[in-house]
Amino acid sequence: MHAIEVPLFDRMMLASGRTAEEMDRELRLLLAVKLFELGRVSLGQAAEVAGMSRLAMIDELGRMKVAVINHDLDDHEFDRVD
């Protein structure tokens, strides 16, 4: 696993009143959600980045109002009734 150094991590941790472990977990979740939202990773990969199960990731995506299933309407044909 690669470690990412976050500038001002200690200040953010102190300001939020959270432990380093809690901050690390939150930052990993936020990264996973954004990468999923941008289509850069799959649901399973996002869950892995966040360190949680796929079901827990789905719950977090819902809580953050990120669609789990994205449909591009241009990719679908619709039956039309004339």
Rounded Cα distance, 33 and 39, in Å: 10
For the record, the structure tokens of 75 come out as 């990719």
Q: Look at residue 1 in the predicted model and tell me its pLDDT.
A: 59
Is residue 32 assigned to a domain? yes
Long-range contacts of 57-61 (CB under 8 A, 24+ apart): 57/32, 60/29, 60/33, 61/33, 61/36
Is residue 34 assigned to a domain? yes
pLDDT in tens, 35-67: 999 999 999 999 999 999 999 999 999 999 999
Distance (Å) of CA 25 to CA 11, 19, 31, 76: 16, 10, 10, 38
Inform me whether the pLDDT recorded for 76 exceeds 80: no
- Residue 81: pLDDT band with limits 50, 70, 90: low
Give the domain extent around 43: 17-69
Instruction: Quote the mean pLDDT of the chain.
Output: 84
Q: Indicate yes or no: pTM above 0.85.
A: no
Is residue 23 assigned to a domain? yes
Is residue 76 assigned to a domain? no
Is residue 58 assigned to a domain? yes
Count of domains forming the chain: 1
Is residue 60 assigned to a domain? yes
Q: Look at residue 8 in the predicted model and tell me its pLDDT.
A: 83
